[in-house]
Amino acid sequence: MMEQTLTVDDPLFLKEPVTFVGVLKRTKEQVADAWDCDPVVAVRELYSTFKNPYPDDKTPEKFLEDPPQ
């Protein structure tokens, strides 16, 4: 068993740092070799959710054929 502590300090989006604490336990279950994350799907979901506040961010143009306005 191992305890993991993660603190996120992001003054742009958070009023104060946030800390998460979790316990990791060893298991005999098969673990996936890689995360199944599709960057195009992630970009589409993220940039369709809110208007991009950063005019110099060109991420949607890199990943999407028809970027959201």
Give a three-class secondary structure readout of 46-65. Answer: HHHHCCCCCCCCCHHHHHCC
CA-to-CA separations, 5 to 23, 25, 26, 35, in angstroms, rounded? 9, 14, 17, 21
pLDDT tens digits, 3-53: 999 999 988 888 999 999 999 888 887 766 666 678 888 888 888 887 888
Query: What integer pLDDT is reported at residue 35 of this predicted model?
Result: 63
CA-to-CA separations, 59 to 15, 49, 62, in angstroms, rounded? 26, 14, 5
Prediction pTM value: 0.39
Residue 68: alpha-carbon gap to chain centroid: 19
